[in-house]
Amino acid sequence: MVNLAKLEKVLGCTVVSSCAVSVDEQTGLIAYPASSTVVLHNPKTNNQAFLVGSAKNSLSCLAFSKCGKYLVTGEFGHDPRVRVWEVYDTNGHFSGVQLAEFLHHEMGIVCVRFALDGEYVVSVGNKHDRRIALWKWKANAKVAENRTTSIVRAMDINEAGTICVTVGVRHVKFWYLDDKKASLQGRSAILADQRNNTFIDVRCGPNNRTFSLTITKLLIEFKDKKLINTYHMHDEAPLALSLGENVLYIGFKNGTIRCMDANTMERKMTYCKPHYLFCDVASGSMNDSLLSSTHPKGSK
């Protein structure tokens, strides 16, 4: 009898952008890549599950469906593929089975998302590919595509699932997801004096509002494709953006997370940085025990 090796635990990750981390809105399960393996981490129990395929390419992006039952992944390397996985079966048990795969992009895929009620998948290639495609994944078919003229850094889908927003180098574009047209149609946002900026992350909000971060430390707000507000992040360098219920979360390079009211755009709070490595939280006896000013020299 042959004893097969079984993956028990993964240490570390290979996340390169916010496009490579996804949270299941139904269960709170966190998905992230570790080379060619998807790690599904339960923060409540600290347990891990894995999606392991036969491909050797490293994963560059992933995203849960709204129902949390499916996960889509994109790869980097030779002949990168878009893959759709079943996370849970019809009985609610962990499945981890690959349901579909598509070969279209060259060299790498920068972001993937479910759209149109989860029946379709949108994928965007990296700077060597510069293609965007719409897939009807249950039918294993590509229904529409187009080319992007700029390098894309991030993507998001609006609440209705009918519009895809891509951002990148001098690029903010709204794509109309229509499976009845072979060519995806899109319109560039009106960027005004930000037309030469580089946009690094994007989130779509209700009422046709869209938020994006730039490398020049700005938070940009769009309304119906038009730039309407600019907010300065001062000396902090923003890297990631997330939208909750009337709340906007911004992650910064120095490790802090800022929470803003999405309606008034006023700062609500700033979450403190995590404690330093090997810190014993229980031993802290003062209010300032976890402040960075009290950390040992050279600590991380």
Assign residue 41 the CATH number of its domain. 2.130.10.10
Low-confidence ranges of the chain (pLDDT < 50): none
172 falls within a domain: no
* Sign of the four-CA dihedral 82, 41, 64, 112: negative
Q: Edge-to-edge strands of the sheet including 163-168? A: 152-157, 163-168, 171-176, 185-188
Place of tokens 């560039």: 188
User: Do 36 and 90 share a structural domain?
Assistant: yes
Domain identity same for 139 and 258: no
Q: What is the CATH number of the domain that holds 273?
A: 2.40.10.480
Q: Is residue 61 part of a domain?
A: yes
Same domain, residue pair 41 and 143 = yes
Give the global pTM: 0.89
In tens, the pLDDT along 183-195 reads 999 999 999 999 9
Q: What is the domain count for the chain?
A: 2
Last residue of a domain, one of 149, 173, 202: 149
Which pLDDT tens digit goes with each residue over 3-40? 678 899 999 999 999 999 999 999 999 999 999 999 99
156 part of a folded domain: no
Q: Which of 176, 137, 171, 133 is nearest to 152 (CA)?
A: 171
In a domain, 178, yes or no: no
Vertex 291 angle, CA 287 and 296, to 5°:
120
Cα separation of the two ends of the chain: 47
Structural domain containing residue 21: 13-149
Place of tokens 């519009």: 163
